[in-house]
A and B are shown apart, each in its own frame.
Chain A
């Protein structure tokens, strides 16, 4: 019986195309219109609390599912060194639990507010949950964040990312139903247009054998230009929107470096955080911080699908040789060029457009996929073909008629709505109503969110069924370790005291000490490997006894 989720990996995904272990992280903008000065961290904790109430999910003792910080290494740099703690910005120290216990809250806000804020019986505000779908929902700085479970392909990435928006929606509804609390809105966007940005991150698993320098060289031109297919669009230019206008990306103006460890300050195009959350000598987790949060399924699909494919190019040593002169400035000039007509200077003196660069990547990817066979419509991996087809079609549309991409490419969909207002009401880019359209585009409530209004009218393409997204709110992906994590939470939640990407920790009556089950191989712990084990056991004690090979199962509590 090889049910252990951490055994030697025998599984591997088809190489050369769009399949790889990946996941998304969304920090939601948070705002209570009737209480505009409410503390953002407190509100975020209320959101987590609301989801615990919705799901009735409580671990033992009425406390949250604690995050297991053992393997968090935010100061490890992929270039081969570790930042001194004393030199780090406090926001980089993400390997310590955020301290927001009753005392801290009372000091900051007064005891009365604490009592009104619904801290649980132990006096601790809920800051973290591990969900039955394998995701993590927690307070990150001053925002609620949903980190999706690990998936193996871009289609599933879209599904479990969109499931996070339904989780967020459920929390908003729960808070709105409580007449003692001000309603809280959540927005899937990346800036308040007043100089603050918050992230939407992607994670991709790569073999550690790929030199990091190859990743930097191969990815930078791709990241400077991929916004033309997956930018979410933004009203306002500059970090504080001091100039009027429209641009392709929510995030571009907030990037200030080419390569670096930071994610909250001096944001780099290539982030070097080296926290594999897996067997460290085999894998690296590429942490991508440059993307916009996407509501458009087509843009989100292309964001994950093309990036995964380009990483395959880099692994195969077949990425196009392109070197952009001053990539940070180019990133911003691409974002500000909504006609897609300007050119970027390369180090060899050529001038090319963002679309030209995307075509170079597309052609290299199509060639590699042809050689490896992964894009074959019958014998291929079932995903790369679709990615290449959509990528090619989207680039063709962007090169001929921008309007034709308005039902798929998010920044163009938003722009078509804004242009409607500009023409009907004669509004300039500085008009507050256009700013409101931009903001409300990302409201995650289907009756208020403008993206969802367009979706309901059939003006946005669907890639996945609503039913698949709804199922992914509670069901984990079957083909990664997220299955094991999610099922442990769903089946044995009261005995799970902690979890992380690469562990689940049990506190089972009758077993003297905490049992930490490592899950360091992302492609193990799947339904195929562990489904029968879950089916055989109703209680955590006998489950763990078989899993860990304990001599005799503890008596039932």
Chain B
């Protein structure tokens, strides 16, 4: 059966481009973090269902516990 993706790197590798000690200027940290978030959002843009409004509206559940 299909499993989770297992070939992905573990945590921390992704953050390697964040400057380490001594602490960088706050602006530099912020721009590196922003770059990471931008890359992530670009990826998520390609994954999100199209027509958000209709998709969210149609998700109607019957009651549960």
Contact = CB atoms under 8 A, between A and B. Distances in A.
A455 B57 CA distance: 27
Contact of A450 (B13, B38, B47, B61): B47
A420 B41 contact: yes
A193 B9 CA distance: 34
A457 B8 contact: yes
A374 to B, nearest CB: 29
Contacts of B5: 446, 452, 456
Given A417-B44, A424-B41, A436-B56, A457 B64 contact: no
B21 to A, nearest CB: 16
Nearest to B11: A458
A477 B8 CA distance: 27
Contacts of B11: 407, 458-462
A91 B58 contact: no
Contact of A440 (B8, B38, B49): B49
A440 B1 CA distance: 22
Contact of A458 (B2, B10, B47, B53): B10
Given A31-B58, A439-B56, A142 B4 contact: no
Contact of B59 (A27, A439, A450): A439
A334 interface: no
B1 A27 contact: no
Contacts of A15: none
Nearest to A32: B58
Contact of B47 (A194, A420, A432, A453): A453
A40 B63 CA distance: 10
B22 interface: no
Contacts of B10: 458, 462
Contacts of B14: 457-459
Contacts of A36: 58, 60
Contact of B61 (A30, A263, A454): A30
A470 B2 CA distance: 9
Interface stretch (A166-174, A302-310, A361-369, A378-386): A166-174
A127 B53 CA distance: 33
A128 to B, nearest CB: 16
B56 to A, nearest CB: 4
Contacts of A201: 65
Interface string B17-53: 0000000000000000000011011011001110011
A420 B40 contact: yes
A203 to B, nearest CB: 13
Nearest to B61: A192
B27 to A, nearest CB: 16
B51 to A, nearest CB: 9
A433 interface: yes
Given A421-B41, A458-B13, A470-B3, A33 B64 contact: no
A51 B8 CA distance: 27
Contacts of A437: 44, 48
Contacts of B49: 33, 436, 440, 448
A197 interface: yes
Contacts of A456: 5, 8
B58 to A, nearest CB: 4
B48 A436 contact: yes
A417 B5 CA distance: 21
A447 interface: yes
A239 B20 CA distance: 44
Contact of B2 (A173, A452, A467): A173
Closest CB pairs A-B (n = 8): A198-B64, A142-B62, A199-B65, A432-B53, A192-B61, A436-B52, A432-B52, A263-B65
11 contacts: A31-B59, A33-B49, A36-B58, A142-B63, A192-B61, A194-B60, A417-B44, A420-B41, A435-B56, A439-B56, A453-B44
Interface of B: 1-6, 8-15, 37-38, 40-41, 43-44, 47-49, 52-53, 55-65
